[in-house]
A and B are shown apart, each in its own frame.
Chain A
Amino acid sequence: MANAARLGNRVDAGLLIGCMVLSLVAVVLKEEDRAPIASALRRTIVAPLVGLQRGAERWRTSWVSSEQRQAVIDSLSLRAVNTVALKSENDHLRKALGLGSRLEWGFVPAEALHNTVPGTDNLVTTLTLTAGSTAGIKRFSPVVAPEGLVGTIQTADPTMSIAILYTNIDFRASAVAADGTTFGIVYPHAPGGSGSEAYMLELRGVPTRSTLKPGTVIYTSGLGGTFPRGITIGTVLQELKTSEVWTRTYLVQPAVAPSHITSVLVLTPQRVTQGTGNVWGATVNADSATRKIAAAGDSIARQAAALEAQARAAVLDSVRRATADSVRRLLGATPPVSAPVDTTTPRKPITPRPDTARPGTGRIPPT
C-alpha cells in the first residue's frame, strides 16, 4: 500500500517534471521553431476556440462602434439643436444690427434678461437690460426692437436698467393708425392674465366715426413726448365690444414677441425729441402719399370728364344753330328778332370742383 502510494507520488512528480521540462523547452525555443507548433495548434485543436474568440471580438467591435456611432449621432443632433438656436439668435442680431444702422445715432444697445411675474403663467412683464444711466439711458426712454416697440425704461441704474414691457399693467402709448388720422391710446389687453391674451394690446379711445380694418398697422403717434412718432406697435385684429358709446376699442397683435427678445435698443432722449423718421417703414407717411396720389388721380379724371362734356355740348350747339340757319334760308324766312348768338366769344369756362389738382387745367378751349 505504501509502495503504491510512493509509486503514485513518483509518477506525479515525474509527470510534473515532464510538463515543466516541456514547458521550459517551449519557452526557450526560437521563434521560427515555436511558430509552426503554435500555428498547428491553432489550425487543429484550438481552431474552434479561435473561431469563438474571433466572433466574440467582432461582437465587441460592433458593439463599441455602435456606441461610437450613437455618440456621433447624439453629437450631431445636439449640434443641430444648437444650430437652430444660433440661427435664430443670429437672425435677431442681424435685425438689431440693421435697425442700429438705420437709426444711425441716438440709441444704446443692450442685452435683455427676462423677468417673470410670480403667480402668473410665466408672464414676462419686465426686462433687465445690461446698460444703464452711464450709457445715456434715462427713465421713460423707449425700448425698441427691429420689429417695433418693446416697452419703456422704468428704472435706470448706472450699469443696468429695468424696462417694463407692453404687457405691464403700467404701460401706455399714444398710437396712430397707418392712415395717419385715427388716434388712440394703447393699453395691455389682459394685464396680469395668463395665456396668449396676456400678450395682446388694446387700442382704446378711437373715435366712433373712425373704423379700422383688421390688419391695419398701429404706430406710435409721437404725442406725449415719451415715444417718437412711427415706431410699430402692432396690427389690428378685431374690434372689441365695450360699453363706450363715443369711442371704439380694438384688439391689437403686438409686433414684438417677448419670448424672442434677447437684445434691444434704447432710444436716448435727444433721439426721442428729434424723431426716428422712416426707420420702421414709415407706413404712416407712405399711406398718406398713396392717398394723395389717388385723390389727385380722381381730380384729373373728373376734370377730363367735365371738359369732354363741355366740348360735346358746344359742338351740338353749333350744329343745331347751323341747321336752323340753313332751313331759314331755304324757306326765305326772316331771321328771328332775337339777337344772334355770338359763337366767337369764348364761353365762360366751367370751373371744376375745387380739389388738389394743378391750377389751370380746367379751361375750355375756344369753340
Chain B
Amino acid sequence: MNWAGTARTILVCALMILMQYTVRPLLAWRASIDFLIIALLLGAVRMRPGGAAVYGFLLGLVADSLDVGGFGAAALGMSLVGFAASWLKAVFFADNLALNGFFLFLAKWAFDLIFLIAGRHAHGAELAMQIFVWSPLSAAVTAVAGVVVLSLLKPLMDVRTA
C-alpha cells in the first residue's frame, strides 16, 4: 500500500472514529451503528494480522476508557476481530458488497459476544437477550452502514492493496 493509500485509509478511519462519538450519540438508537468496528475492519485489512491486533487493541482501549465497567473487554474483542479480519482479508473486502456486509455483521456480533462475556455486562436472560436480539440487530445496522460507507468510498480506497 502506497503512502497515498495509507493516508486515505487513516483519514477514513479517523472519520469513522469521529462519527462514533458524534453521529451515534445523536441517533441514540437502541441497536446502534458501531462505527469503530467499521473503522477497525477498514484498517485491519490493510495491515498484517499483528498490526491489526494492535490497532484493534488501541481502538478498544479508547472505547473502554469511556465505558464505566468492563475495562479491557472492548480491547480484547477488537484485538481478536482485527486479527481475524486481517487474516481473512482474502475473503473480506471482496467486490461483493453483500459479502462485505455479511462479514461486517459477523465481526460486530463476534465483538459484542466477546465484549459482553469478558466485560460481564449482563447475566442470564439479559445476556441471552443481548446476544441473540440486540447484538444481531446492532450488527445488522452496522453492516448496512458499513456497506453504505464502502460504496461511497470505493473510488477513494484501494482495497486490493496489501
The smallest beta-carbon distance between A334 and chain B, in angstroms, is: 137
Between A and B, how many residue pairs show CB distances below 8 Å?
A: 108
Could you tell me if A27 and B76 are in contact, using CB atoms closer than 8 angstroms?
A: yes
What range describes how many residues of B lie at the interface? 35 or more
Q: Report whether over half of chain A's contact residues are helix, strand or loop; otherwise say mixed.
A: helix
A286 contacts partner chain B, Cβ-Cβ < 8 Å:
no
Which residue among B23, B65, B70, B76 has the maximum number of chain A CB atoms within 10 Å of its CB? B65
Map CB proximity to A onto B39-69 as digits: 1 under 8 Å, 0 otherwise. 0000000001111011011001110111000
Could you tell me if B50 and A14 are in contact, using CB atoms closer than 8 angstroms?
A: yes
What range describes how many residues of A lie at the interface? 20 to 34
Q: Report whether over half of chain B's contact residues are helix, strand or loop; otherwise say mixed.
A: helix
The smallest beta-carbon distance between B15 and chain A, in angstroms, is: 12
A71 contacts partner chain B, Cβ-Cβ < 8 Å:
no
Could you tell me if A20 and B79 are in contact, using CB atoms closer than 8 angstroms?
A: yes
Could you tell me if A52 and B62 are in contact, using CB atoms closer than 8 angstroms?
A: no
The smallest beta-carbon distance between A29 and chain B, in angstroms, is: 7
B134 contacts partner chain A, Cβ-Cβ < 8 Å:
no
Could you tell me if B53 and A12 are in contact, using CB atoms closer than 8 angstroms?
A: yes
B161 contacts partner chain A, Cβ-Cβ < 8 Å:
no
A52-B35 Cα distance, complex, nearest whole Å: 15
B23, B26, B54: which contacts A19 (Cβ < 8 A)? B54
A86 contacts partner chain B, Cβ-Cβ < 8 Å:
no
Could you tell me if A34 and B83 are in contact, using CB atoms closer than 8 angstroms?
A: no
- Report A-chain residues with C-beta under 8 Å of the C-beta of B71: 26-27, 29, 34, 37-38
B18 contacts partner chain A, Cβ-Cβ < 8 Å:
yes
- Report A-chain residues with C-beta under 8 Å of the C-beta of B146: none
Which A215-258 residues have C-beta < 8 A from chain B?
none
B124 contacts partner chain A, Cβ-Cβ < 8 Å:
no
Could you tell me if A27 and B25 are in contact, using CB atoms closer than 8 angstroms?
A: no
The smallest beta-carbon distance between B137 and chain A, in angstroms, is: 20
- Report A-chain residues with C-beta under 8 Å of the C-beta of B17: 49
Among A53-61, A154-162, A266-274, the one that faces the other chain is A53-61
A68-B57 Cα distance, complex, nearest whole Å: 41
The smallest beta-carbon distance between B47 and chain A, in angstroms, is: 10
Could you tell me if A53 and B72 are in contact, using CB atoms closer than 8 angstroms?
A: no
- Report B-chain residues with C-beta under 8 Å of the C-beta of A347: none
A42-B76 Cα distance, complex, nearest whole Å: 19
**A→B interface (CB under 8 Å):** 8, 11-16, 19-20, 22-29, 34, 37-38, 41-42, 45-46, 49-50, 52-53, 55-57, 59-60, 63
**A23-B76, A57-B25 provided; 18 other pairs, C-beta below 8 A?**
A8-B50, A16-B53, A16-B83, A20-B79, A22-B57, A23-B73, A23-B75, A25-B72, A26-B64, A27-B118, A28-B72, A46-B65, A46-B66, A50-B21, A50-B66, A53-B22, A56-B25, A56-B26
